[in-house]
Structure 1
Amino acid sequence: MSQGKDDFGIYENCDFTKEMELEERERRKAPKGVLPFLALSPERAIALLYMLLALTFVLFMALTIVNLRRVSAAWEALEQARMRSENSHTTVWHNLSEVQRALDKQLSGVLKTIHGRLLNVSQEVENVRQKTTRCKAECGNELSDRLRVLEERNALEPVLRQLAEVKQEQSRASALLDTALEQTRNLSEILCTKCPAGWQQFAKTCYFFSTTNQPWLAAKRSCNDFNAHLAIVDTEQENKFLANHIMDDRVFWLGLTDTDNESKWQWVNGRSLSLSFWNSGEPNNAGQQGEDCATIYSNGLWNDIICSSAEAWICERSC
């Protein structure tokens, strides 16, 4: 029995020795430069490959999760920044609107004050002009009487020289009075004080803002009845003046139309349009009937609408 066991152990040692020799031969046969794991048995190589794939998958998933979190955080930050920007824009726009309204009210009050002062100055200038005219007539009559008296006396040479000096003095006084009268006339022309009741003054022009509505042609005839015409805008300052007298919910006719020649806008005095303040996308001549007459909003922008529409209107005339 013991001999059999020993023989069995000898056989096992022999088999193990043979396997080691076979593996050693395989290693020697393997080409130089090949990685050691390629010399492993196929089962071990496959197991190692699976482990590498699993590790790569885990790393890929970890990186993906981290990137997704970063993208989500960045997206949330962008969304919050957009919301803050929108809130800031809304707040700034509201503040600007309030400031504009306050400035418009303040400007209107200042214009009324200046208008009152100009009226007072104009009255004072007119009084000075009248006094100067009376002074010229009275002084001229007095000097003429003195000259006639001196000439009738047939005075001696000194008296004649005195007469000559008096005549020169009269000429200088007359020239000064003429200059003063001319200056007062020029000042009266600069200061406009002849706007009818209910009309508004801007520069040397009077404006009437209607409280009723009419089609464009009827509004034009109404202005003609006042010896005026529908408003013609020549400057940006004039356009702002008109807009400041318009309520937010109303529009007013201007003296501007392209009825005679489509897209060739002309003022009621026949002058072509050179300076304009059209709203965005206007004039567009919308609708089947077309839009051939111009209106002005309270923000100063213009729009073309159907001439038969009933709207308020603005008349314009010189002082």
Structure 2
Amino acid sequence: MTHLPHHIKSGRCQKEGPEMSQGDGALGTYEKWDSTETMELEKREQGRAPKGALAIPSIPASSLERAIMLLYILLALTIVIFMALTIVNIQRVSAMWEVLEEARMRSENSHTTAWHNLSEVQHTLDKQLSGELQAIHSQFLNVSREVENMGWKVTQCKAECGKELSNRLQALEEKDVLEPVQRQLAEMKQEQSRTSALLDTVLEEARNLSGILCTRCPDGWQQFAKTCYFFSSSTKSWQAAKEFCATFDAHMPIVNTEQENKFLANHIMENRVFWLGLSDMHKEGDWQWVNGNSLSLSFWNSGEPNNVGDHGEDCATIFPNGRWNDVSCSNAEAWI
């Protein structure tokens, strides 16, 4: 219950003293009462509020709407700025991608041009080299013909000159001449011997030079290190193959180097073997080539030669991998 001030009783204002003027009247008394009542109502409202509660100032509706509108505007500006930055970045990435694509195309074009130029250079060099090789081959053929002609002339001269000189010496010996003439005859014989030896040396050198400058293999033969090789497509026994080679003034292969063995292996078809000119038929374990030389360099397969079988294995063959094996000489194999 709220107590009114002492000067307000029964709804009336009481004068405070003689200082109040007469002009105040009833209106002044009621204004004071209204003010006092208003203050009293505020105190009542404050008394009704729960303890510890804070007074929240009221916000006008117009201010709240302006704040929300401002937030919308800021959000729209943020979205616009984000979209602009995204578009700019996409354009930059597109520009960089186009630059990279142009660089790749230029690189591919440069590689293609380089390969084309290299191919043309190689083709030109091949043509030039082929022409030069043909010219060198023609020169070798001419030199070989000249050497052969020279050797033939030396042989003919040796035969004719030697025959003429022998006839003269024989005629002089048949005559009864003095001792000085006989000494001259002896000197002439010595000179004939020296001349004959010199002619033999020249002829041998001419033949060697011909063999070095030009080795021409027959059709179907393969050349390696100034030697011609023929690889058969049929089969024979070892002895028959040896005799067949002799009819061509040739012999079965004698392997002297690792390079020659690789050459033979490279020309052997898969799943085939070929005879070598190697055997120990004269003495077991003493392997010799067809020219009588003993074996010094060998390429036997693992565990070979083993000389198995009732009749033994006395002749050598070569596999496509270059390894050797001993088999029976009566086997039918291809030959070289």
Name the TM tier (shorter chain): 0.3 to 0.5
Between structures 1 and 2, the one with greater helix share:
1
Higher relative contact order (CA 8 A, sep 6+): 1
Q: Work out which of the two has the higher radius of gyration on C-alpha atoms and give 1 or 2.
A: 2
